[in-house]
């Protein structure tokens, strides 16, 4: 698998490092969740601390399971690369040489990863939160955004 963006430079270690550092670009703040195939972490850009990202790290046991597992990762990356739309979370980076440097300076190399935009809540969450206070116009606005995004995905032969 080839990385989508430039390779990172080495991390300069400071004794005050409190969080793991991913690819010398992102500070890993906390876990967002875990499934059968991967773990997802909230990260913050070192260059621009106001930018947050979701870092999906594929589990080694999933990748070792069979060849279909690696094919499914390639398919996910191919799909995400072709879905640039304002209503769909963007993939920012991917690769198979990810590296985490822990505060203890222990390095975890050769990680297969996907870095995506981080979105708090999301459209469905927002709709549910606002349902009581949301009028018909706001409901129409959110429904239009969701249907527009689905229509775009379907035009690219992707079903979610």
Tell me the per-residue pLDDT of 80-114, one tens digit each, with 9 for 90 and over.
888 888 888 899 999 999 999 999 999 999 999 99
pLDDT of residue 2: 43
Collect the ranges in the chain with pLDDT lower than 50. Answer: 2-14
Given the DSSP bridges, would you call strands 26-34 and 38-45 parallel, antiparallel or unpaired? antiparallel
Q: Which element (helix H / strand E) includes 91?
A: strand 91-101
pLDDT of residue 86: 87
Task: Count CB atoms within 10 A of the CB of residue 147.
Answer: 11
pLDDT at 12: 46
Burial class (CB in 10 A: 0-12, 13-18, 19+), 30: exposed
pLDDT at 68: 84
Q: Model's pTM, two decimal places?
A: 0.74
Please provide the average confidence, as pLDDT, over all residues in the chain. 83
Residue-level pLDDT at 160: 62
Which residues have a Cβ under 8 Å from the Cβ of 83 and sit 6 or more positions away?
Answer: 152, 153, 156, 158
């Amino acid at each position: 698998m080839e990385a989508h963006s430039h390779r990172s430079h080495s991390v300069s270690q400071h004794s005050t490092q409190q969080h793991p550092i991913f690819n010398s670009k992102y500070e890993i703040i906390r876990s967002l969740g875990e499934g059968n195939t991967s773990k997802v972490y909230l990260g913050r850009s070192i260059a621009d601390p106001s930018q947050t990202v979701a870092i999906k790290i594929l589990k080694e046991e999933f990748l070792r399971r069979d060849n279909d597992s690696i094919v499914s990762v390639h398919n996910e990356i191919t799909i995400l690369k072709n879905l640039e739309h304002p209503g769909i979370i963007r993939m920012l980076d991917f690769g198979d040489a990810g590296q985490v440097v822990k505060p203890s300076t222990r390095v975890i190399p050769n990680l297969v990863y996907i870095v995506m935009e981080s979105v708090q809540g999301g459209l469905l969450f927002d709709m549910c939160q606002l349902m009581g206070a949301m009028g018909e116009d706001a409901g129409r606005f959110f429904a239009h955004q969701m249907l527009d995004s689905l229509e775009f995905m379907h035009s690219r032969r992707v079903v979610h």
